[in-house]
Every structure is written in C-alpha cells, then in structure tokens.
Amino acid sequence: MKRILFLLLANFFFFHTTRAEHITGGEMYYRLVSTNGVDFTYEVTLKLYRDCDSRGAQLDGTAAIGVFDMGTRALLRNISVPLTRTETLNLASPGPCIVNAPRVCYNVGYYITSITLPASVAGYTLAYQRCCRINGINNLINSGGAGATYTAVIPGTNRRTDGPENHSAQFKGVDTVIVCGGYPFTYSFEAIDDDGDELRYRFCSAYLGGGQSGQDGGPNSPVPNPPAAPPYSNVTYSFPFSSSQPLGPNVQINSSTGLITGVAPDQGIYVVTVCVEEVRNGVVIATQRKRFAD
C-alpha cells in the first residue's frame, strides 16, 4: 500500500510526513455589500492556512492588502487588515489506502475588511503577498525561496457597464481531502457565483511574491507592505510539470464543472492553481484564483 497522500487543502497539497514550516495556502474573495451607482462597497476576505504543528511562520496579526488600478498599475490604497477570526480544520479519517497517516490539522485565518471604491474603467486588482513556500515541493524549482501572491479582481466598466456590480466567484470544495499517490481520484473545485455569471475553469500558473531580503516590508521582504504592483511573475515548474499540467499529464480539470480527475502523481507536495473566469453574457469580466500547497 502506498502511504502517501494528497492533501487537498484549499490547495492541492500532496503531502508526505514532513511538516510545512510556512503559510500553506490561501485565497482572496469579495462580495458586493452596497452601491449608490457611483461608489461600490465590497466585503473582502483573505483566507490563509497554516499547519497546526508548524514551528515556523505563524498567522500574521495583520495583512497588508493593496488596491491597484488595473490600467495604470498604480497603488491606490494599502490597507492593514487585522486577523478577524481563526478556525481549525482536522481530518480524522484518511481512508483505507493510507498506512500510518500523519495528523492532518490546519489553522485557518480570516482577514476581513470593507473597501469602498468608485466605478473604474479598467477595474482593480487586490493583492496580498507572503514568503516563503516550503522546501522540496515536487513540481517547482527552488520552492523554499519562492513566495506567493494572492489576488482578487474587481471588474471595470470597459468590459461591461455593470462590471463593478459583482460578487467574486467563491470556491466551495471541501478543504481537507486525502488521496493516495498513484491512485485514481476526483476532487470538485466548483465555485459559486451569486451574480449568476457563467464560470469556466482551468489550471494556471502560481504567482511569486515577496522574498528573503530583510524585514523592512520592501517588495523582496517576507511580508511586503505594501505588496508589489502587478503584473506578477510566475513560479518556475520542474519538468515534466507545468502551469497547465501541475500534476502531470494524467490529471485534468473539467472547464465547465471544475471537477479534477485522473491518477495522482507520486508521493510528495505539489503546487496547483486553478483560475475561474466569470463570464457575463459572453464577456469575461474577471478571473479569480485559488492556490494549493503554498
């Protein structure tokens, strides 16, 4: 029996018995709270995960979320958001194919704030950055020196005049699932959209963010404050993996349903990023991302 597993933790985390020493994944999403037709108020949530048994990075007491104009890429605001609440996720039943499975436990931190913005032609990018990922991620080169960027996109009026009247797509899959390495598996990465927009799914590249150069809050520090402006650089995948095949050629995602199926790769840890496009009356107005195994 193979004793390794995929830990699908709001991120595909195909986990061995080693423990993560850093933040292990996350996502950002928002919902429209109110509008007067000129200004729009959104409730924004940054959701971060940390291994309960980690001796490394804790959940930060605050998170710096930058608001950038998608046209000029200028930083419009830098918001310090306190840690709003936490919860703990445990997986008690790993499944019959796992022998001597490690404890699966994650602390989840929610950073929640309200942001009021005027309608914009180009729209806005919300971003948060944190370094670094753990060492030894199977499908990345030099993973221990690679940070992460979490983003959410608020549409502008250039695609559709009603673009700013938007709730981001929000992923609803179970956050802790174990799958045996080398075995067939399925995992639903389905999202919901309160606006009724059509959703289209694809694998995409994980973003880099932050670095290991000092503690000054600069763009190359572990916790950039403010975060760097887009566009963001992509991680470097190790052969034969890529942004479109982060788990190899035997794993696919259904573009209409978000269902991931295939044969799991060998034991290890893998970064997987899924992008979901929000399509309103045939027009793509925004793309939201969710990341695994950061």
Using DSSP's 3-state secondary structure scheme, residue 159 falls into coil
Local structure of residue 189 (DSSP, 8 states) = -
Q: What is the pTM of this model?
A: 0.89
Q: What is the CA radius of gyration of the chain?
A: 18
Cα 236–Cα 238–Cα 243 angle in degrees, nearest 5: 60
Residue closest to 253 by CA, chosen among 241, 242, 262: 262
Dist. CA 150–CA 292, nearest whole Å: 11
Q: Are 41 and 116 in contact (CB under 8 A)?
A: yes
Q: How far apart are CA 27 and CA 177, in angstroms?
A: 17
Q: Which of 146, 176, 171 is nearest to 275 (CA)?
A: 171
Is residue 145 classed as helix, strand or coil in its secondary structure? Answer: helix
Question: Which residues, in sequence order, are bridge partners of residue 142?
Answer: none
Helix H segments across 38-80?
Answer: none
pLDDT digit string (tens) for the chain, length 294 residues: 333 344 443 334 343 333 334 567 789 999 999 999 999 999 999 999 887 776 656 788 999 999 999 999 999 999 999 999 999 988 755 556 666 666 678 889 999 999 999 999 999 999 999 988 777 888 999 888 888 999 999 999 999 999 999 999 998 876 666 677 888 888 888 999 999 999 999 999 999 999 888 778 999 999 999 999 999 999 999 999 999 999 999 999 999 999 999 998 988 888 889 999 999 999 999 999 987 654
First to last CA, the chain: 27
CA distance 102 to 99: 9
Element (H, E) at 263: strand 259-263
For tokens 């291994």, name the residue.
51
29, 56, 60: which is closest to 44 by C-alpha?
29
In three-state secondary structure terms, 69 is strand
How much is the pLDDT for 99? 65
